[in-house]
Structure 1
Amino acid sequence: MEVHRSVIDGVLQFVPVPHVDGHGFRTVTFDSAVAAAAGVDPGRFIQDSQSRSMQGVIRGMHGRTGKGESKLVRCAHGAMHDVVVDARPGSPTFGRVATFLLDDVERRHLYIPAGCLHGFQALSPTVDTCYRIDTPHDPSEDVSVRFDDRALGIRWPLPVGTTSAKDRAAGTWAELCTRLGVDTPAEPIAS
C-alpha cells in the first residue's frame, strides 16, 4: 500500500496494490502498520459505517468542532467526487479546498484529519461509501457549510441531484469562520 500526501496538510491517500487473477482481485483495505508509518494512529478508529447514494446526490460539507472527527473514507462501489476543505484554525492550509476521485477501480482511501469539512457527489448510478471514524458522534459538535457556497468555489462535476434538507439549510463559510473565531480567507485555494 502506497501513501500519497495532498495539498491539504494532513490529508492522505492510501493506495492499495491489488492482486488480480482469473477469479477477480484481492486487496488489503486497511493496514495498521502503513497507517502508523504515515502518522495515523490506527488504534483510534472506533466505528465503521457505510452509506449508499444515487447519481448526482451531494452529501456535505460536514465537519465537527471540539476534538473533531478524523475519518478514513473509501468508495466500495461506484465512483464519487470527494471534496475536503481545511477548516482548522491555525493550519497552514486553512481554507484550502481539495478534490479527489474515489472509486471501486483504484480503491484509494482518503484520510481526513479532524477539523476538516468533507463532502462528495455520487458520479455513478449507485455509490457505496465506507467511513472509518475515530470519535463517537456528538451532535453538539456538528458543523456544516452549504455545498454550493460561492466562497468555497467547489465545482461539482454533475448537475446537483438530491441533497438533504440539513445540507440545504447549512450555513456559509463566512459564518463558520466567525464561529471558529478566525478571519475569512480572501479566496479559497482550490486544487
Structure 2
Amino acid sequence: MKAIEVPEIDGAFLFEPTPYADERGFFCRTFDADVLRSVGLAPESFVQDSVSRSVRGVVRGLHLRSGAGEAKLVRCSYGKVFDVVVDLRQDSPTYRNRAFFELSGETQLSVYIPAGCAHGFQALTETADTSYRIDREHDPAEDVTIAFDDPELAVPWPLPVTAVSARDRQAPGLAEVLKHRQEQGRER
C-alpha cells in the first residue's frame, strides 16, 4: 500500500493498495497502520467504523462536523462512487479548494479527509457500499450539512441526482454555513 498526497487539499491522502489477483478474485490490504504513520497520521485515533449502502444516483453530503471536526478514512468497498472533499479550514493553504475522486470496489482506494473538510459522494453503480473510519464518536448535535447543489461549490455530480435525505435537501448553502461558523467563533 502506498500513500499519495492530494495536492488540492492540504493534509489529505489517497491510500492505494496493491491487490494480489488470481483466478479466485483478489486480496488486498485496505488499512495499514505503518503506512498511515509514515505520513504523520495516528492510526490508533480511529474509533468508529461505519458503512452506508446507496443506489445509483444517490447523493450523500456534503457533511462535516462542528467543534473539533472529524477526520475520516473513506473507501468504496463495493460498486463505485464519485467522492467530493471541500476544504473549509480557514487557516489551511487550500481553503475552499475541492477535490474529486472515483472510489470503487475494484481499486479499493481510500481517501483520508482531514477534520474541517466537508465530504460527500454520489453512487455511480446500482449498489455502492461506502466504508467510513472516523476519529471521533458521532455526535448528531455537531452535524453540519451544506447544500449538495450549492452553485458556489458547483460540484459536477456525474449523474442526475435520484435521491438525497431530507436533511441534505434542506441544507443551507456554503455562504450561510461559513457565516454561521464565523459567528460561533466570535461567541467563544
Displacement of 1:23? 1.7
- Counterpart AA for 1:5: E
The DSSP-based 3-state class of the residue aligned with 1:89 is coil
Secondary structure of 1:181's partner? helix
SS in 2 for 1:128: strand
For residues 91 and 65 of structure 1, the distance between their equivalents in structure 2, rounded to whole angstroms, comes to: 16
- The answer to whether structure 1 residue 5 and structure 2 residue 8 are counterparts is no
Q: 1:140: Cα distance to partner? A: 2.1
The answer to which of 22-31 and 121-130 deviates more is 22-31
Task: Please name the residue that 2:53 is paired with.
Answer: 52
Q: Distance in 2 between matches of 1:4 and 1:70?
A: 17
SS in 1 for 2:163: coil
- Give the aligned CA root-mean-square deviation in angstroms: 1.0
Displacement, 1:59? 0.3
Return structure 1 stretches of 4+ with deviation > 6 angstroms: none
**Identity across aligned pairs (percent)?**
50
- Contact kept, 8 Å, 1:63 with 1:116, in 2: the verdict is yes
Match of residue 21 from structure 1: 22
Name the SS for the 1:131 alignment partner. Answer: strand
Pairwise CA distance, 1:82 = 0.2
Shift of the alpha carbon at 1:56?
0.1
Q: Distance in 2 between matches of 1:141 and 1:47?
A: 16
Residue equivalent to 1:83: 84
Q: CA deviation at 1:112?
A: 0.4
Q: Look up the SS of the partner of 2:168 in the other structure.
A: helix
Q: Distance in 2 between matches of 1:161 and 1:20?
A: 34
Structure 1 segments unaligned to the other structure (5+ residues): 183-191
| 2:116 aligned residue | 115
Aligned equivalent of 1:137:
138
Letter in 2 for 1:8: I
Match in the other structure for 2:125: 124
TM-score normalized with structure 2 length: 0.94
Residue number in structure 2 paired with 1:100: 101
Q: How many residues align?
A: 182
The whole-number CA distance in structure 2 between the counterparts of 1:42 and 1:123 is 29
Q: Which runs of 5+ in 2 are unaligned?
A: 184-188
Q: TM-score scaled by structure 1? A: 0.93
Does the aligned pair in 2 maintain the 1:64–1:142 contact within 8 Å? yes
Q: Aligned-pair distance for 1:179?
A: 1.9
Q: Classify the secondary structure of the residue corresponding to 1:99.
A: strand
Q: Corresponding residue for 1:66?
A: 67
Give CA deviations for 1:3-24 in whole Å, capped at 9, x if unaligned: 1111110111000001112221
Residue 39 of structure 2 is matched in structure 1 by 38
Q: 1:180: Cα distance to partner?
A: 2.4
Q: Distance in 2 between matches of 1:58 and 1:39?
A: 31
CA distance in 2, matches of 1:140, 1:48: 19
- Secondary structure at the aligned position of 2:103 is classed as strand
